[in-house]
Copies of this chain bind each other. A is one copy, B any other.
């Protein structure tokens, strides 16, 4: 049940998603995809007109999925603190399974500004989400809410992007890294709340 729908088209798309997110558009060939998906080369073009279109389809779905989840969580009916924990916990779980997602999104989005522009609708939905407004109300004077939104994303997402580096630098194993990230589910919300209520000096 990990991957439903084993139609040929889906086999190609899921394989391509994995390969593209692992190595990026430029390092993956249509033959790589066909071979890894165990289908005939021509089927890639048969089901998706071109490598480019296949890539765009995948990028669209990945961004849609990532951002869409965020919007849902940020409009949840729980308290601010609970939503904070929810967002952090949800993305740590998601990225523990798909650690390549952020680098893929960031690096390929840069090459496709127009796709990003189309996603602006979702971006707007994020800014208008309940969580974002509650965050704005709690900001210390003089510090705009975007700073704290950056912080939540930074603390949650960056470690996965820097994972190969961090593992090499610290001698961590895969499992130890995952435990470190699990620990952050509780720590990050605490840290963020601490930032929002800075000690008076």
- State the A residues within 8 Å of B (CB): 22-28, 100, 102-103, 105-107, 109-111, 113, 116-117, 119-120, 123, 126-127, 143-144, 146-147, 150-151, 153-155, 157-159, 161-162, 164-166, 168-170, 172, 180, 183-184, 187, 190-191, 194-195, 197-199
Contact = CB atoms under 8 A, between A and B. Distances in A.
A184 B123 contact: no
Nearest to A172: B146
8 contacts: A22-B110, A103-B106, A127-B170, A147-B180, A151-B191, A153-B162, A154-B154, A157-B158
Contacts of A127: 169-170
Given A150-B159, A155-B154, A195-B191, A116 B27 contact: no
Nearest to A112: B164
A120 B100 CA distance: 22
B199 A146 contact: no
B117 A168 contact: yes
A157 B102 CA distance: 14
Contacts of A106: 103, 161-162, 164-165
Contact of A194 (B110, B120, B195): B195
A161 B120 CA distance: 18
Given A103-B107, A194-B195, A199-B194, A116 B150 contact: no
